[in-house]
Structure 1
Amino acid sequence: MNTDLSPKAAEIASCARSLLATAGYNGFSYADISEAVHISKASIHHHFPSKAELVRTVLVRYREEGRVGLAAVAERIPAPLDQLQAYTGYWAACIRDGSAPFCICAMLAAELSAIPAEVADEVRGHFLDLTAWLAAVLERGAAAGVFALRTSPETEAMAFAATVHGAMLSARAYGNPEVFTQIVQPLLDRLLAH
């Protein structure tokens, strides 16, 4: 899929991404985008003939940004614990400043049975990407004696991701960005080999 977008299509996709983070797939329409971007619904359909195509485009781009970001963390930060802290620190900062208050794939996972298959495939792909990266970090940390894993790196990675996503949800529910860190820090502490 070609994800190079015209400036207007990129603006539409950016608006859709923000709406996904706050309202999920079924919580917004082309009318919401039309109002925010000051473009007719027909023009949106010109760029993205269907909502599923628009959201899939957003997710393909989101997943690529995620892969690039995680690769940069792995390249820039050699220590596994520091990598996990960089990952959770990224989300803590985004939640605190409102720039990305929730992972859009986590939001869409809650709607999985009610979203188009092509969108659901991208959501699953995001979770597979994230789990693979986390499992590799956890495995390296365990091999170095930094982490004491209770189960397989893959299972620990899924539990880690679930806790991070749950912490995002809790921060939103309590209306307090600090709740995220209050939940995630003990998770990091429990991983450490003592």
Structure 2
Amino acid sequence: MNKTFDDILACARSLIATGGYNGFSYADIAEVVGIRKASIHHHFPSKVDLVKTLIGRYREETAHGLTHLEQTNPGPQEQLRAYIQFWTSCIADGSMPFCVCALLASELPILPDEVALEVRGYFRLLSGWLTSVLERGLQQGLVMLTQEPRIEAEAFMATVHGAMLSARAYGDPGVFGLIMAPQLDRIFAKK
């Protein structure tokens, strides 16, 4: 891959995070990146190709990040805290104020099928990781769940994405932490 390819993806990611799938065009990317639309089409013949590639890369980055998180945090509680801290930092510094796949999931009814499939793949990846963390925490007696780990993982994931939305709606990055702190406390509560 080359710098132009990466710049196009980075720009598309930023534009999707602020305006969704239909909130940008190749003309917008060309203006921001400083290239012609033909150059974008050279790398990504269609918007579907561009967004599929973007989500594929986003999912790979997430998988790598989750693996790193597991390697650097010894237990399930630390892993969940680190995951929440990652998003707290991204939202606070504006580097990634919203999960691109969460935003695209809100648009699933209007997304092309190929893009929707990629978005669902991201959610399966994250749900699977959260489920495994909660299962390990339950086996080790470190977490308290009211439902089976898979259902709790889905609820936790929904809360994370909802907290992102609330932080955005209020224009206050701190709202994310205010919502997530009691969720972690609930899961980590001793019986």
Say whether the fold is shared (TM-score over 0.5): yes
Aligned CA-pair RMSD:
0.7
Deviation at 1:193, TM superposition (A): 3.5
**Per-residue deviation, residues 21-54 of structure 1 (Å, max 9, x unmatched):** 1111111111110110111112211111100100
Could you tell me which amino acid in structure 1 is paired with residue 98 of structure 2?
F
SS at match of 1:102: coil
Q: Which residue of 2 aligns with 1:10?
A: 6
- Taking the TM superposition and a 5 Å limit, the aligned residue runs for 1:19-34 are 19-34=15-30
Runs of 4 or more above 6 Å deviation = none
CA distance in 2, matches of 1:182, 1:7: 38
SS at match of 2:97: coil
Q: Which residue of 2 aligns with 1:98?
A: 94
Q: Is the 8 A contact 1:171 1:179 kept in 2?
A: yes
CA distance in 1, matches of 2:101, 2:57: 12
What TM-score, normalized to structure 1?
A: 0.96
What TM-score, normalized to structure 2?
A: 0.98
- Alignment size in residue pairs: 190
**Per-residue deviation, residues 33-91 of structure 1 (Å, max 9, x unmatched):** 01101111122111111001001101100000000000111111111111000001000
Deviation at 1:9, TM superposition (A): 1.1
Q: Which residue of 2 aligns with 1:165?
A: 161
Q: For structure 1, which runs of at least 5 residues remain unmatched after alignment?
A: none
Q: Is the 8 A contact 1:106 1:165 kept in 2?
A: yes
CA distance in 2, matches of 1:9, 1:120: 22
Q: Is the 8 A contact 1:145 1:193 kept in 2?
A: no
Quote the sequence identity (%).
Answer: 58
Q: For structure 2, which runs of at least 5 residues remain unmatched after alignment?
A: none
Could you tell me which amino acid in structure 2 is paired with residue 115 of structure 1?
L
